Structures are given as C-alpha cells and as structure tokens.
Amino acid sequence: MSSSNLLKNIISKDINIFLSTLKNLINTGSLDDFKTLCDKSDFIFPNIKDKIVKNFIKLVEAKNLDTIFEFSKIYSFDFEDLIVKSWIKFADEDLTDRILSLFENGTQEQKAYCAKYFSCIKDPLCLEYLKKYALSEYEPLMINCAITLSAFKEESVLGEMEEKILNSMNEFDKIEAYKFICAYNTAKSREFVLNNFEKSPFRVNIVTYLLDFCDFDELSHNFQNKISKIFNVLLEGYPEDIGLETIGYYRIYDFINYLLNNKSPYNGALVALARNNFEEYLLNENYHFNLDKNTKDELKEIVNLLKSFKEDFSELNNLLKNEDIDCFKTALKVIEEYKRDEFADSLSSLINSFNISPEKKAYVAQTLKALNRQDLIQKEAVNTIQNDNIKVLIESLMV
C-alpha cells in the first residue's frame, strides 16, 4: 500500500476502512508499511494513535507473532505498546524464552521492546541483560531498562547512576545518569533528582525528564517545597528550550494556580514573570501560530488565570537580600522585565558593596544595563573583583 493511502486509511473516520487497514497491516506483516506508520506518527493525533494501538492488540492473533517480531526491528515510542502488549497478550514460557534470546542477540531497537516486556513479565533471567543495557547509549533501551529494573526493585544500577552524578566531572555523563534515575521513578529516585538538579547546567532538561515520569499531582503532594524551584526552571526553558506545545502536558496551569494559592515573595515574583511571559506568548503570533487548538485554548486559560494576579513589587528588596541564587535572580528578572527603575539605587548599593559574590554582581550589572543605569556601577568596586571573567563582563556592560 502506498504511504499516502496507508496514512489516509488508518486515520479514516470510517471504522470499516480503519479496521480493514489494520487487519491488512497485521496479515501482510509489511515492514515497509509499519515503518511508514512510525515515520508519520507525528502527523497523527494522540487519540488516533491510542485507537490504532488498542485495536491492533485486539485484532492480533497468535499466528501473527512472527509479524510482531518483524515489526520490532523498528522502534517507535508512539507505537511501543503495539509491540509489547501484543507479546504480553500471548505470553507463555516459550514466547518469553524467544524474547530473552532476542534481548541478548537482537538489535538495539528490538532490545528496547524486550526490556519493556520484562517490566510486566518478570522473568529474573532478564536481569543480566537489564543491568548490561542500562548503560546503553541508545536512549529508548536505557530508559526501558530503568523502568524494568525499578519494577524488579533492583537498585544496583540506580546506585551507580547516583554516584556518577555526585562524583563525575563530566556534565554530559551526568545528564545521561539523570535520564536513567528519572525513568527509574520511585520516591527515592525522585527525591534524589529534586535534591540535586539545581546544580546542573542542564537543569531545564532534567526537569522535563522528571515530569515525563512524575506529574504535578505527585509533586504537589510529596514535594511541595520544590514546586517553586521546578516552575522557575520551566519558566527559564520556555519557549526556546521547551516548546509551548507542552504547557498542557506539564500542567503549567496547575503550577501557576498552586503558586497563587501558596503566597510568598518568591512565588509572587515567579507569577509576575509568568504573567509577563505568557501574555507575550499569547499576543505574539510567532509563538503560537503552529500550536493546535487545544494548546492555544490552554494558553488562553493560563493567561486568564494570571490576569487575576495583582503584582506587588514591595517584597523585591527582601528577595534581593536572599542567599538563594534563584530567588535573587528572579527578583532581578522582575525588575528588568517590568522596568522598575525605583530599584536602581538598591541595585547600585548591591553591586558597589563587598557583601555579595562576584556572580551576583554580574547579574546586578546586567539588570542595571537593561534599565540603562549602568552609570551607577562604580569602577572602584569592579576593580576589587578577583574573577577576571566576571570583571571583564561587568566592564563591558558599563559602556
């Protein structure tokens, strides 16, 4: 079947055309057709993909198992359950032995499916391969090994990954370890991530990995003290590092509603930033022209919620005295984005004092430059800075 006809028929609203196309895919076992389906999955609405998987599993028979093994040569996250749940449907000792053999000798794509299979069919003979392939550079395989090792409550690899984050000097190795720990997804692993993610230069990525496995309800119930920090990182990531199409998936509305109902100077500053940012995303078509209707509606709901917020800038000076770097930077962002010139003197006192770190002085200098008040930076104060990189940066902002 041509790729255009396959896609047209498999998303058809005519149930007979839809089902006959699925049956044909199963009966012919055409790897080319399955590859077409996987390649075009980004153009299929999520509810249609769910319908395809559900009905495929319903229609597949034991005599079609060779077809499922053939399809396992192509990995697709969207259609992972189509492979795995078809195997589980007919799971027995012989099939599990066949999948164990594939787990040992198959391609990395096939191994990814095998790893997920054993999260449901807990044959301890798979543990050797799970531990081995948990270190794979092929992300779907590594992630599924983490999920299944968690199902077995096997923590040896988890411990190795935690040690890597605590002791490695390589940030890229650490980010791979964070992916594993997020996918492991237990209370213990989540707590480890939340206690360490702020130190990483890839913290935006880490938060998105975490939210793929741990939703807002879990965070608001068990990690209330981290909600503000996580939302701050999400704000950092939108819209360049995190696409706006994720605002519903990451439940941004619920994050904001939580902050509005748990008032603090830091939460107030975060909401002020969110209001400024999300109103811009809604007003500027460049940010939302390619979003689907549901996401645009979600964006409008977020902006409507934020309109109920009344900015209060009276606490910003207290945030500027906060030792926490995120609180400090958030206060500066609010001052900069809302053009609050009345804080220029406070910022001048900070940058010209000996009581804050060179790093904080650099952030203050950037804010003064944005306010066009770089004239308040004293040359004598800059000369006392020992870090040459920061000193050069601040001097460049003084012109």
Q: What is the mean pLDDT of residues 351-370?
A: 91
The amino acid occupying position 224 is Q
CATH number for the domain spanning 24: value is 1.25.10
pLDDT of residue 3: 63
Is residue 281 located within the same domain as residue 365?
no
Q: Does any domain span residue 359?
A: yes
Q: Please state whether the peptide bond connecting residue 140 to the residue before it is cis, i.e. omega within 30 degrees of 0.
A: no
Is residue 364 within a helix (H) or strand (E), and if so which, with residue range?
A: helix 358-370
Is residue 346 located within the same domain as residue 310?
no
pLDDT of residue 374: 92
The amino acid occupying position 123 is D
pLDDT in tens, 297-346: 999 999 999 998 988 898 899 999 989 999 999 999 999 999 999 999 99
> Residue 299 sits in which domain range?
216-314
**What sign for the dihedral angle of Cα 83, 84, 88, 89?**
negative
pLDDT of residue 356: 87
Q: Does any domain span residue 111?
A: no
The owner of tokens 């249609």 is 48
Q: What is the mean pLDDT of residues 88-113?
A: 98
Q: Does any domain span residue 161?
A: no
For the stretch 318-357, what's the b/e string if a residue is b when 16 or more beta carbons lie within 10 angstroms of its beta carbon? ebbeeeeebbbbbbbbbbbbbebeebbebbbebbbeeebe
pLDDT in tens, 247-303: 999 999 999 999 999 999 999 999 999 999 999 999 999 998 889 899 999 999 999
Q: Does any domain span residue 373?
A: yes
Q: Does any domain span residue 333?
A: no
Q: Does any domain span residue 103?
A: no
Q: Does any domain span residue 201?
A: no
Of all residues in the chain, what percent carry a pLDDT higher than 90? 88
Q: Does any domain span residue 157?
A: no
**Of 7 and 171, which is predicted with more confidence?**
171
Average pLDDT, the chain: 94
Any idea of the CA torsion for 101, 106, 108, 113, to the nearest 10 degrees? -50
pLDDT category at 2 given cuts 50, 70, 90 is: low
pLDDT higher than 90, residue 7 = no
Number of domains in the chain: 3
